[in-house]
């Protein structure tokens, strides 16, 4: 399997699998990928965290070195289509000019296609030593598949460098903020709306908590790469009918974190801030990831990207979190880059697309990264 036309065909095939999460159902997509990589001599293993929720690990032979393998990672699930009508069939991979359309075209089945093509290319060259390809399920719902795999790092073997193939327009990013989702619950006492003095309005308490959250200071210095933490109140609900004093309310909070700001620390800060206004529940979290721009491998990758794309990379971070949140710490914190052919601004959008030219670019970049890894380690 070689050539840009094969990469396009492969991406169209990947787009045709409906892996919208929920429910995900990544097993058929994983089987399709498994067959290709097994045919190219990779040792393939699957791991399910739930029925039909299958992740896939493909390892080359002879990758057990002191500095470990280079690992490329991507997720198979996509987000729902949304309510707006699509002009292009979301599962057809229709090509118009330099754009290929479909759900997951950018986020991130183009990254998967580039990974598969790179693996096949390396195998055909006989130069695929110390390469691991990881395809995860459930990334869109707080990295469920990666979190499950992180408990079994032996499936990957020693990893010296991690490339997460999320959409970056073929420019390497050095990490991303973490994310913490909280829910603030407030309680009150119901009463007839004509006699509010007899009740205790839970929505008022929620409103007071929201105003405190809006002005929250996390008291941590800005990270040189990731910047400062942020907070957004995304949902608020409460009460059952308009002519009653509400006895409950709930507020959903999204916090983006930097290194050093742990879920426990954030939880304590929020509890202290809202005091007796309500109770705080931790829903889920993803840890931040940041790689030193002076790392020698990072410099190598930056040089490769510049030669392939003609653009000189600048140290930057992704606005979203990735499977690296769980994988990087589980693998002993190898240097981690986010680098893929998709367009970040097209993620989760109606009529999502990826540039065909970026797909070929990514295959060349990944191939050169793997070859350089094999030469110098």
Query: Which of 231, 252, 286 delimits the end of a domain?
Result: 286
pLDDT at 65 over 60: no
106 and 245 assigned to the same domain: no
Strand-strand pairing, 178-187 and 279-286: antiparallel
172 and 268 assigned to the same domain: no
CA 11 to the chain's CA centroid = 19
Burial 226-263 (b: 16+ CB within 10 A, else e): beebebebeebebbeeeeebbbbbbbebebbbbbebeb
Question: In the numeric block, which tokens belong to residue 26?
Answer: 């990544």
pLDDT at 64 over 80: no
364 and 266 assigned to the same domain: no
Q: Record the pTM.
A: 0.94
Domain count of the fold of the chain: 2
123 and 78 assigned to the same domain: yes
Q: What is the pLDDT of residues 102-151, one digit of tens each?
A: 999 999 999 999 999 999 999 999 877 789 999 999 999 999 999 999 99
Query: Which of 286, 311, 338 delimits the end of a domain?
Result: 286
Q: What is the pLDDT of residues 248-292, one digit of tens each?
A: 999 999 999 999 899 999 999 999 999 888 999 999 999 999 999
For residues 335-354, give the mean pLDDT.
98
CA torsion, ordered 157, 114, 139, 252, to nearest 10 deg: 140
CATH code for the domain of 231: 3.30.70.360
Query: Which of 286, 314, 335 delimits the end of a domain?
Result: 286
163 and 15 assigned to the same domain: yes
Burial 347-369 (b: 16+ CB within 10 A, else e): bbeebbbbbbebbbbbbbbbbbb
19 and 138 assigned to the same domain: yes
Q: In the beta sheet, which residues pair with residue 281?
A: 183
Name the nearest CA neighbour of 237 among 228, 246, 229, 245.
246
pLDDT at 368 over 80: yes
Can you tell me the distance from the alpha carbon of 79 to that of 83, in angstroms, rounded to the nearest whole number? 12
């Amino acid at each position: 399997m070689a050539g840009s036309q094969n990469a396009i065909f492969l991406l169209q095939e990947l787009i045709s699998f409906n892996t919208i999460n929920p429910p995900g159902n990544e097993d058929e997509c994983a089987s399709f990928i498994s067959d290709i990589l097994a045919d190219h001599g990779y040792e393939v293993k699957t791991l399910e965290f739930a029925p039909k929720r299958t992740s896939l690990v493909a390892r080359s032979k002879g990758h057990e070195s002191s500095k470990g393998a280079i690992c490329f990672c991507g997720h198979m699930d996509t987000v729902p289509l949304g309510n707006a009508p699509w002009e292009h069939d979301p599962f057809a991979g229709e090509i118009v000019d330099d754009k290929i359309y479909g759900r997951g075209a950018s986020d991130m089945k183009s990254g998967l296609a580039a990974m598969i093509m790179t693996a096949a290319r390396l195998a055909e060259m006989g130069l695929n030593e110390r390469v691991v390809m990881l395809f995860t399920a459930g990334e869109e719902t707080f990295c469920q598949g990666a979190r499950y795999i992180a408990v079994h790092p032996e499936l990957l073997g020693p990893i010296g460098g991690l490339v997460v193939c999320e959409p970056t327009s073929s420019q390497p990013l050095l990490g991303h903020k973490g994310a913490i989702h909280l829910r603030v619950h407030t309680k009150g006492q119901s009463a007839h709306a004509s006699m509010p003095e007899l009740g205790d309005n839970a929505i008022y308490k929620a409103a007071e908590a929201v105003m405190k959250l809006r002005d929250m200071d996390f008291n941590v210095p800005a990270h040189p790469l990731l910047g400062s933490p942020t907070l957004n109140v995304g949902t608020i609900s409460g009460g059952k009918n308009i002519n009653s004093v509400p006895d409950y309310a709930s507020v959903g909070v999204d916090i983006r974190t930097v290194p050093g700001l742990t879920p426990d620390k954030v939880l304590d800060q929020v509890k202290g801030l809202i005091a007796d206004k309500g109770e705080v529940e931790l829903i889920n979290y993803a840890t931040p990831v940041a790689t030193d721009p002076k790392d020698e491998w990072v410099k190598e990758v930056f040089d490769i990207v510049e030669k392939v794309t003609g653009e000189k990379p600048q140290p930057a971070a992704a606005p979203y979190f990735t499977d690296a949140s769980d994988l990087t710490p589980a693998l002993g914190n190898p240097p981690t880059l986010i680098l893929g052919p998709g367009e970040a601004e097209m993620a989760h959008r109606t009529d999502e697309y990826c540039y065909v030219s970026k797909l070929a670019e990514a295959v060349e970049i990944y191939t050169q990264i793997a070859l350089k890894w094999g030469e110098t380690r």
